């Protein structure tokens, strides 16, 4: 059993995806996501599952609270397979709501808590949600869409921290599910029959990802995939019931909800949940809670490296960091400085059919997101390819026979991942009610007639030892603060501003930062000037915080001779440090307005003294 996988893990890296020679039925017996919490609550009711701000929660406590909410949902006539949207913060109420929804066979759909206006409304309407639960702290954002959401049939309720603990929360926006309201409902378990019919090809979760068309796309996660991820990651992380994990990533993200939460649950460990990442509190949290596994995204590691030494940074029990996007150049320094033994870096999209994994214990494979050496290729039939891409069109290059061309070693190209048919784990379940977006992610007849691959949309390269390195995102999105920013969404908002004539949005590299910062090149209408503070107000009202451009550049023309794409590529490559003299100064976001960006500002950023 699991020979390929274990051998791969032992080698220090793995391809996490379709064909670890595991019997399919092991993974596919049950809709694990739905059953896991119920099982644990029965088997170990008094075990502490969650620690939040110093308070412990046993399985029994979470189970009882989610039972009540589940009975309330049933009383609202929620049926198995209905979609319920939740916009909740990192707080025990997130788990209570998630399991309440899952245990009655309904489908939780996690809303990014930065959203408001059109993007938020879109998330509710695209999933046809009957019920939307939001934490009172997001009331102002929800107020921007409440009326329209109701008009399209969504019932809105406040449920979250204030409603759970002080019971005092009321407002005019929505009925609040206070403890008093919920006390009318029983806290015994809901009937097994509600989930009995749920199979592995049913939808387990919807997670929204930024689309190239602007608005978020709801990525479908079927139980088969969730099972595969939970099981595979549990093994690869090496986590056991004696481990304590630390999650400060937003729970609406797949890393937090699939990985941190479900791995911990699966192995029976304890999860320490933080409201959000705090560089000042981090080592205290790790030390005080005896945390052994930290779930990261790349920028968090960078922030930790940039801060002054902390008295606990070498006195903790942390042995493993598990996550995605640690900047390649800091791995060895990170391990040396903080004395962490293992860096488990994975690469994979929320919705992708597979990914890669590098369990790194020494300098040898530092910086790689995966290892795909000859031994692994013997155990696991090859499913990952890196193919040549036209740098301007950012589309695969086809040869004279119509097939894609695989890259040579060390040559950057797009990673594509082979897909399995319905019911397999290496699947792409598509986007909910969005066939156009779904078909854009699929490439057929890539390397031979009849094959089907998932397009990751990412540029990677592999060296001759089989180490895989992440380089950049392709296409019309870029990553910033671990969110995907869709350039078209930003462009549309910028273009609505009255004095803007033409605009071009892209992401630029900034020293000491992970991902790309948003930059907008502008041409203004004749005889107008930009009121920077007002422009910022406009942007921040209509865009999530992470999508508001950091830099503005005024350009004389959008270069009509070249294509729009060529233009974008040129601007993107010029970034913030190679902008021609006659287009200076560029401006940057500071204190809710834009001010000239100086050489001194650049130096501060480069020296790690200014965090964007």
Ligand X SMILES: *[C@@H]1O[C@H](CO)[C@@H](O)[C@H](O)[C@H]1NC(C)=O
Residue 566 is a binding residue for ligand X (CB under 6 A) = yes
Nearer to ligand X, 6 or 340 (CB): 340
Nearer to ligand X, 144 or 569 (CB): 569
Nearer to ligand X, 320 or 567 (CB): 567
Q: What is the nearest approach in angstroms of ligand X to the Cβ of residue 563?
A: 8
Task: Spell out the SS3 assignment of 331-364.
Answer: HHHHHHHHCCCEEEEEECCCCCCCEEEEEECCHH
Q: Which stretch binds ligand X (CB under 6 A): 73-81, 274-282, 322-330, 563-571?
A: 563-571
Does the CA dihedral 390-394-400-405 come out positive or negative?
A: positive
Q: What is the nearest approach in angstroms of ligand X to the Cβ of residue 120?
A: 19
Nearer to ligand X, 44 or 566 (CB): 566
Residue 583 is a binding residue for ligand X (CB under 6 A) = no
Q: What is the nearest approach in angstroms of ligand X to the Cβ of residue 11?
A: 32
Q: What is the nearest approach in angstroms of ligand X to the Cβ of residue 526?
A: 21
Residue 561 is a binding residue for ligand X (CB under 6 A) = yes
- Residue 483 and residue 516: Cα distance in Å, rounded? 10
Q: What is the nearest approach in angstroms of ligand X to the Cβ of residue 475?
A: 17
Nearer to ligand X, 436 or 598 (CB): 436
Q: Are 79 and 264 in contact (CB under 8 A)?
A: no
Q: Which of residues 419-438 bind ligand X (CB under 6 A)?
A: 436
Q: What is the nearest approach in angstroms of ligand X to the Cβ of residue 480?
A: 23
Residue among 109, 112, 116, 289 that touches ligand X (CB under 6 A): 289
| Residues in CB range of 492: below 8 A, 6 or more apart | 214
H or E segment at 564?
Answer: helix 564-574
Q: Which stretch binds ligand X (CB under 6 A): 2-10, 277-285, 565-573, 590-598?
A: 565-573
Residue 382 is a binding residue for ligand X (CB under 6 A) = no
Residue 391 is a binding residue for ligand X (CB under 6 A) = no
Q: How many other CB atoms are found less than 10 A from the CB of residue 187?
A: 15
Q: Which stretch binds ligand X (CB under 6 A): 111-119, 187-195, 463-471, 534-542?
A: 187-195
Q: Are 155 and 147 in contact (CB under 8 A)?
A: no
Nearer to ligand X, 179 or 562 (CB): 562
N-terminal to C-terminal alpha carbon distance within the chain: 47
SS3 266: helix
Binning the chain into helix, strand and coil, the percentages to the nearest 5 are 35, 25, 40
Structure tokens at 172: 């005019």
Residue 290 is a binding residue for ligand X (CB under 6 A) = yes
Q: What is the nearest approach in angstroms of ligand X to the Cβ of residue 428?
A: 18
Q: What is the nearest approach in angstroms of ligand X to the Cβ of residue 187?
A: 8
Closest by CA to 409, choosing from 431, 386, 433, 381, is: 386
Structure tokens at 343: 């860096």
Residue 582 is a binding residue for ligand X (CB under 6 A) = no
Residue among 153, 186, 423, 498 that touches ligand X (CB under 6 A): 186
Q: Which stretch binds ligand X (CB under 6 A): 21-29, 86-94, 185-193, 518-526?
A: 185-193
The burial of 301, by beta-carbon neighbours within 10 Å (0-12 exposed, 13-18 middle, 19 or more buried), is given as buried
Q: How many other CB atoms are found less than 10 A from the CB of residue 363?
A: 11
- Residue 609 and residue 594: Cα distance in Å, rounded? 19
| Residues in CB range of 151: below 8 A, 6 or more apart | none
- Alpha helix segments (H runs only) across 51-116: 59-75, 92-103
Q: Are 315 and 287 in contact (CB under 8 A)?
A: yes
Q: Which stretch binds ligand X (CB under 6 A): 358-366, 523-531, 533-541, 564-572?
A: 564-572
Nearer to ligand X, 76 or 408 (CB): 76
Residue 562 is a binding residue for ligand X (CB under 6 A) = yes
Contact positions toward ligand X, by CB under 6 A? 186, 188-189, 191, 289-290, 436, 559, 561-562, 566-567, 570
């Amino acid at each position: 059993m699991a020979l390929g996988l274990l051998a791969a893990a032992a080698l220090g890296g793995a391809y996490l995806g379709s064909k670890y020679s595991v019997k399919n039925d092991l993974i596919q017996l049950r809709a694990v996501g739905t059953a896991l919490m119920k099982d644990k609550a029965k088997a170990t009711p008094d075990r502490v599952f969650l620690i939040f701000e110093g308070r412990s929660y046993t399985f029994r406590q979470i189970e009882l609270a989610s039972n009540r909410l589940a009975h309330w949902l049933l009383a609202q006539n929620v049926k198995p397979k209905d979609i319920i949207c939740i916009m909740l913060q990192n707080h025990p109420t997130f788990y209570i709501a998630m399991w309440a929804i899952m245990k009655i066979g309904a489908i939780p759909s996690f809303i990014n808590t930065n959203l408001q206006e059109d993007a938020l409304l879109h998330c509710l309407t695209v999933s046809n949600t009957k019920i939307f639960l939001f934490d009172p702290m997001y009331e102002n954002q929800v107020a921007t869409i409440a009326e329209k959401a109701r008009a399209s049939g969504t019932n809105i309720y406040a449920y979250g921290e204030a409603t759970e603990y002080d019971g005092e929360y009321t407002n005019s926006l929505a009925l609040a599910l206070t403890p008093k309201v919920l006390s009318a409902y029983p806290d015994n378990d809901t009937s097994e029959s509600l989930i009995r019919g749920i199979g592995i090809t049913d939808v387990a979760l919807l997670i929204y990802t930024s689309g190239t068309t602007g608005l978020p796309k709801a990525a479908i996660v079927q139980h088969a995939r969730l099972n595969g991820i939970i099981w595979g990651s549990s093994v690869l992380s090496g986590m056991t019931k004696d481990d304590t994990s630390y999650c400060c990533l937003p729970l609406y993200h797949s890393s937090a909800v699939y990985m941190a939460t479900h791995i911990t649950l699966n192995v029976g460990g304890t999860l320490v949940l933080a409201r959000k990442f705090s560089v000042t509190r981090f080592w205290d949290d790790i030390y005080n809670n005896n945390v052994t596994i930290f779930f990261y995204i790349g920028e968090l590691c960078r922030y930790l490296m940039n801060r002054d030494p902390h008295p606990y940074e070498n006195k903790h029990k942390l042995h493993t960091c598990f996550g995605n996007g640690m900047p390649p150049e800091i791995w060895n320094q990170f391990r040396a400085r903080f004395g962490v033994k293992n860096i488990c870096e994975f690469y994979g999209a929320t919705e992708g059919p597979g990914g890669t994994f590098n369990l790194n214990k020494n300098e040898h494979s530092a910086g790689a997101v995966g290892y795909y050496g000859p031994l692994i290729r013997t155990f696991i039939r090859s499913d990952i390819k890196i193919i040549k891409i036209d740098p301007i069109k950012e589309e695969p290059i086809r040869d004279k026979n119509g097939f894609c061309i695989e890259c040579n070693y060390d040559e950057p190209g797009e990673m594509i991942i082979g897909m399995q048919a319905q019911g397999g784990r290496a699947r792409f379940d598509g986007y909910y009610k969005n066939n156009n977006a779904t078909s854009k992610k699929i490439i057929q007849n890539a390397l031979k007639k009849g094959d089907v691959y998932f397009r990751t949309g990412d540029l990677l390269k592999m060296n001759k030892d089989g180490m895989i390195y992440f380089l950049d995102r392709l296409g019309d999105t870029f990553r910033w603060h671990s969110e995907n920013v869709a350039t078209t969404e930003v462009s549309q908002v910028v273009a609505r501003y009255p004095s803007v004539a033409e605009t071009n949005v892209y992401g630029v590299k900034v020293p000491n930062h992970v991902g790309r910062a948003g930059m907008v090149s502008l041409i203004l209408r004749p005889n107008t000037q930009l009121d920077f503070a007002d422009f910022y107000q406009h942007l921040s009202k209509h865009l999530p915080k992470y999508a508001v451009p950091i830099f503005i550049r005024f350009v004389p023309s959008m270069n009509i001779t070249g294509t729009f794409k060529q233009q974008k590529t040129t601007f993107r490559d010029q970034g913030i440090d190679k902008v021609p003299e006659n287009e200076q100064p560029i401006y940057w976001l500071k204190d809710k307005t834009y001010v000239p960006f100086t050489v001194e500002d650049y130096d501060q950023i480069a020296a790690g003294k200014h965090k964007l």
